[in-house]
Structure 1
Amino acid sequence: MLASVAMVSCVDTVILPDNKTVDDDFWQKKSEVDAVVSTAYAQLRDETAIRNMIVWGDFRSDELNMTTGLPTGAAYRTALQQIYSLNIETENAFTSWYPFYSAINYCNLVLEKAENVIAVDPDYTRGDYEANKAQALALRAFCYFYLTKVFHDIPVTPGAYMNSSADLNAPQATPDSVLTMCIRDLEEASKNAIPGNTYGDWRDKGYLNKDGINAVLADIYLWRASVNRDAADYQKCVDYCDAIIKAKKQAYEESGQRRRWGEDDVEKDYYLSDYDDMYSDLFGQNGQNADESIFELQFRNSNATNKGLDQMYYRYNNASSNSYGYLKAAPLYGTVKSDGSGIWFNSVDQRLYEYLYDATSSSVEQFGVRKFVATVSAGVNNAADSHRETRANVMQNWILYRLTDVMLMKAEALVQLYEFEKQAALADSRAADETYNQAAFDICKFVNDRALSDANKSSYAMKYSTYKDKMESLVLAERARELCFEGKRWFDLMRYNYRHMTTKADLTKKLSDKDYAVVPNSSEFFELALRKYAVPSAMKAKMRDERYLYMPINQDEVELNTNLQQNPVYKSAAKY
């Protein structure tokens, strides 16, 4: 691992590399290039990055509430309270983006310096460089995409920052230009990306390989399609998802392992851990980097403590004496509603018990997050499980993409393609072809069936006739059941909102542009996103249009970079 890095003054815009890394004398060996690539990934293991991904992706949604009884002096209590009450100030701790820009800076260093090593180290080949370049392009694109989903308009750095005297006034770019750049870089990276099972160890999931790059591309196309309501982008999402599914299937068949799950025609395409092994393979002490995983931030194999996850879900101050984190699941996520109005519609879904403590209990107002925290399976439909080890270090990997996520991205895109098919059929005075819709349902059913025991599968399996006219809602709910607490939900709700806005949003405009047109959020979005509040209607005014979907830029960043324009709906605490 490289030496520790230094801050730019006291501002979190970029963490600069140490002097040794910047110096040309450093770039002499293959091992040094590999070290910088590894360091780029390490920036996203920073506790700020993990905390923020949980807050940005889960706490802002209907999934999580602040834990009742947090001490007044708890470090992030005030910042979380601002976000929960929708009164976010620009100094809020969760507006920090520095781990992402630090990772971007290391990626830029690789892109600028690594090629020269070919001439000085005979062990560093052109093929090695192309592989490192692919890693740098892919990780940089992932970071930029993530940031534009959170902040909308973000600075795009012109190259690597080498020292504190560098000009930090990077220009702010629109989402459209950022997404276009990301797609271009990912497609370039894909040409020399390593296959999914190259190493046979943690690197197959810890690096952005071919499958990981395709997952980011699918995610970007799904995002852009939802905002622009574009059939071609939805199809591109499906294509990239299919490439991952095909590669996973081929790798599994070539591995010689037994088929883990499924025998009928629909199920042959998907190779997932089975009902009994699902939790332990993905989240358990002896699991992580499971066959069905695609991209994980590596804590266990780096011997690093996942402090951000520890604080949010396990112990708010990383002390073994605490038995709760800053956040717990909202009541909706621990309660079964058989009428389908909630998240869980039956009490035999194993995920309910694997992912939450005290699930289905009528005496609990908040449900502890069990996913990532417990190191063993809860046991079949065991709501009484309270397995909480006292451990000094939580070295749980943070999963960014896995196969069921990709499957459900595909299902989401297929449902929208079916909407385009229905419009075409109406125009042609013919019956709509339900192929897209049926395929989306089959995916949702497969993911849902995996969480049912053999004894319950026939009684509780979903039926197409029940859901054929509400497939968008089914996909959204299945993603909530499968991927809750993994940093996905808020972005799922944002895509849903963009599709239901009465006016289409414009990705080519910055929120601060004079000709930016304010687009109200949809009533369908409000119904879901605000339902964790006691009086949802009282919160609508604080989330009334597109601008409120995004986080403010940290006040220090605005003051440092004169090219940054703040999201106009937010103010500094000094201006209240």
Structure 2
Amino acid sequence: MKKYMLFILSGLLTTSCIDTVVLPDDITIGEDMWKSKSDVEGMVNGVYKAMTSEAIIERCIVWGSYRSDEMNPIVQTFNNGKENALKDIKSGYMTQTNTYADWSAFYGVINRCNLVLQHAPEVVESDPAYTEATLNTDISQMLAMRSLCYFYLVRAFRDIPVTPGAYKFSSQEFEIPQEAPLTVLNKCIEDLETAIKTPLSPNGFTDWRRVGYMNKEGIAALLADVYLWRGSMTHNSADYQKCVEYCDIVLDSKRAATADYFDFGRPWSNLVYDGSVNYRAQFISGNSLESIFELQMDGKNDDNFGLRNCYWNYDEKSRGNGLMNASLIFNEVNADKVYISDKDYRWYESCYSVNSSDKEELDIFKMVSLMETGNVEGNLKPQTPLSRGYEEVAQNWIFYRLSDVMLMKAEALVQLTPDSEDAADKDVENVLRSAFSLVNEVNKRSIALATLTDADTLKFSTYSNKAAMEELVLAERLRELCFEGKRYFDLLRYNYRHVDGVQPDKILADINEDPDVMVENNGSMMNLMTRGMSVGGGAARLLMHTEPYLYFPVLESELKANLLLKQNPAYKKSNLYDKN
């Protein structure tokens, strides 16, 4: 049973961005605040509470899913700011006033983390109940949560400010320059490798806290993700090896904790997808055995407004503010589409009315329905479940789960494959087979086993070279992780691996003022990404042809408040305000 984190901390840290931060009531961060173990617990829990905000969840969805090819904009016209901002994103070009370029919610969480990191050590001296061991696990969580926020920001904006410490008073200096992505990623890795030395144990809890707090598995998963991103930007094989090592920490931990759960002779059977039963455990009940880290929601004090705003269609006529549709690629099954079999549970459990001949767009079903479709292996025709009213949405938001880590490891293994033109090279084959095995496990788990045929399965012979295996991993991540805020970042990693001349140690504004003469984006990645653009693939391709266009602009209000910030050159020509 879930327990939900309720915090009555009057005046606690309602923050905006680092430049226009709304500071907490000084009482809550002054000398009288940091006296006892419970004071620190309240502040630590406040970080998790802040992450459940509508602003955070919406941006996880918009930045990670909506901007990719897996989602379309709404058809209905609301004429509101969010709808217009979403349409601008899908046009391939934005202005510096786009509401989804607002990074303030993430910097608010970062400031909370910094407050704990700064003041928690003081409490060890004043409260004997607050031990060094507890302090260390609190520091571990805060370093990890801060790194998670920075990791989202660097993937959405590329060049971002890194705050030097906690902000408590309006007299503090808020002007901070941006850092290049390599600097930010290095900081995340340094903090996370410190955090994983004294983490919470995932086996120390039997309730929601097993996955509701950032523990050793969550830190290892995040480290694997950051190394995978850095390796893709720098083409550094050592980073891919570190990704594999941290993935293995998660896999070994899960294996040890769920030793009695395995079946069918396959090492991960039943743990990820085994039909609608596990679908319910993951996306309806929450906190499944597969889960690694997810935000806890109860639909009341912690209502998942962000999820509802983006995905919820509650009566076929009235839609949420800025609702999005699944792409048409989810409405068909064949060799050229996302799913290779209509027996794949993920195909018809991800959207309403899958395979409906009279629907041009599909409403997203994953994570917002209170029930699964009810399909069984002998009755595979997709059904339309009853919808629910516009009320409590208690589904958790999942940051990491086991299949994500399995596929990260597969992606890194492909990049560690020796370069060889010889298809019979055993070293190449062995590494590729290892990657294929992970992908195949995830894929086969989601196929209805009772009706499984040879045509429904993946074949190693089809993906026996490095390029084909890389594309298989990318496709399987889309099948498995659709609408979970992963796809756009997957495409960016793919892009970076296939372009040369990227300078991750410099901010874009210092490389070249003209975005049109910067590094050209990879054509295959652009083909995938622009098929989701409403203005048409060709037009969007022209707009998004170089690296700066892959990121959000710096918000206009930020440029006015912080004169050290430099605008992404892709958006400088259209700025309504130019501080230079």
Q: TM-score, normalised by structure 1?
A: 0.92
Q: Check whether the contact 1:245–1:403 (CA below 8 A) recurs between aligned residues.
A: yes
Change (3 A) 1:275 1:430: closer
Judged with a 3 Å threshold, the aligned counterparts in structure 2 of structure 1 residues 442 and 145 are, in CA distance, closer, same or farther, namely same
Aligned to 2:548: 547
Give the conservation status (yes or no) of the 8 Å contact 1:329–1:368.
yes
Q: Percent identity?
A: 40
**Structure 1's 115 and 321: CA in aligned 2 closer, same or farther, altered over 3 A?**
farther
1:463-478 aligned at under 5 Å gives the runs: 463-469=459-465, 470-478=468-476
Aligned residue number for residue 558 of structure 2: 557
Q: Cα–Cα, structure 1 residues 386 and 23, in superposed 2: closer, same or farther, change >3 Å?
A: same
Q: Distance in 2 between matches of 1:231 and 1:270?
A: 33
> How far apart are the structure 2 equivalents of 1:93 and 1:115?
37
Q: Which of 151, 169, 189 is the matching residue for 1:183? A: 189
Question: How far is 1:173 from its partner?
Answer: 0.8
Which residue, out of 484, 487, 498, partners 1:489? 487
SS at match of 1:433: helix
Moved more, 7-16 or 511-520: 7-16
Distance in 2, Cα, partners of 1:79 & 1:205 = 33
Equivalent residue number for residue 371 of structure 2: 376
What residue is the counterpart of 1:417 in the other structure? 416
Q: 1:435 to 1:326 in 2, by over 3 A?
A: same
Stretches of structure 2 that go unaligned for 5 or more consecutive residues are 1-6
Which runs of 5 or more residues in structure 1 are unaligned?
none
Question: Does 2:154 align with 1:157?
Answer: no
Q: 2:144 aligns with which of 127, 138, 161?
A: 138
Distance 1:21 1:4 in 2: 7
User: What is the aligned counterpart of 1:100 among 96, 106, 127?
Assistant: 106
The more displaced of 462-471 and 303-312 is 462-471
Cross-structure match for 2:241: 235
**Distance in 1 between residues matched to 2:40 and 2:430, nearest whole Å:** 48
Determine if contact 2:70/2:327 at 8 Å carries over to the other structure: yes
- Quote how far apart the aligned CAs of 1:171 are: 2.7
Structure-2 residue corresponding to 1:396:
395
Give, as a single letter, the amino acid of the residue that structure 1 aligns with 2:60.
M
Cα deviation, residue 7, structure 1:
5.9
Q: Is 1:226 the equivalent of 2:232?
A: yes
Q: Distance in 1 between matches of 2:262 and 2:317?
A: 39
Deviation at 1:395, TM superposition (A): 1.6
Aligned 1:169-180 pairs, distance under 5 A: 169-180=175-186
Amino acid corresponding to residue 186 of structure 1 in structure 2: L
**Which residues of 2 match residues 200-219 of structure 1 at below 5 A?**
200-219=206-225
Partner of 2:532, secondary structure, is coil
Which residue matches 1:436? 431
CA RMSD of aligned residues (A): 2.4
Q: Secondary structure at the match of 1:157?
A: coil
Offset at residue 499 of structure 1 (A): 1.2
Provide the rounded CA distance (Å) in 1 between the counterparts of 2:131 and 2:18: 38
How far residue 201 of structure 1 moved from its aligned partner, in angstroms, is: 1.5
Aligned to 1:522: 522
Check 1:436–1:119 CA distance in 2 against 1; reply closer, same or farther (3 A cut).
Answer: same
Tell me: CA distance 1:395–1:321, structure 2 relative to 1, closer, same or farther (3 Å): farther
Match of 1:42 among 45, 49, 54: 49
Shift of 1:15: 4.5
* 2:346 equivalent to 1:351: yes
Is the 8 Å Cα contact of residues 27 and 114 (structure 1) preserved in structure 2?
Answer: yes
Q: Shift of the alpha carbon at 1:433?
A: 3.4
TM-score (norm 2): 0.91
Match of 2:272 in 1: 272
Q: CA deviation at 1:131?
A: 0.9
Cα distance in 1 for partners of 2:553, 2:25 equals 29
Q: Secondary structure at the match of 1:26?
A: coil
Question: What is the Cα deviation at residue 6 of structure 1?
Answer: 6.2
- Contact 1:353 / 1:383 at 8 angstroms: preserved in 2? yes
TM-aligned CA deviation for residue 273 of structure 1: 5.2
Of the candidates 288, 291, 316, which is equivalent to residue 290 of structure 1? Answer: 288
Any idea what SS the aligned residue of 2:97 has?
Answer: coil
Contact kept, 8 Å, 1:273 with 1:292, in 2: the verdict is no
Cα deviations by residue, 1:51-82 (Å, 9 ceiling, x for unpaired): 1111111111001111111322x341111111
Distance 1:165 1:31, change over 3 A: same
From 60, 65, 73, give the equivalent of 1:66: 73
Q: Distance in 2 between matches of 1:464 and 1:58?
A: 29
Q: Per-residue deviation at 1:456?
A: 2.7
Amino acid at match of 2:459: K
Match of 1:322 in 2: 318
Judged with a 3 Å threshold, the aligned counterparts in structure 2 of structure 1 residues 360 and 410 are, in CA distance, closer, same or farther, namely same
Q: Provide the rounded CA distance (Å) in 1 between the counterparts of 2:403 and 2:193.
A: 23
Cα distance per residue 1:292-349 (max 9 Å; x no partner): 1011111129841111110100059xx998256610011112222x2x2221122111
The aligned residue for residue 147 of structure 1 is 153
- Residue of structure 2 in register with 1:510 after alignment: 507
How many Å separate the matches in 2 of 1:136 and 1:153?
22
Deviations 1:146-205 (A, max 9, x none): 111111111011100002221111231111111111111001111110111212221221
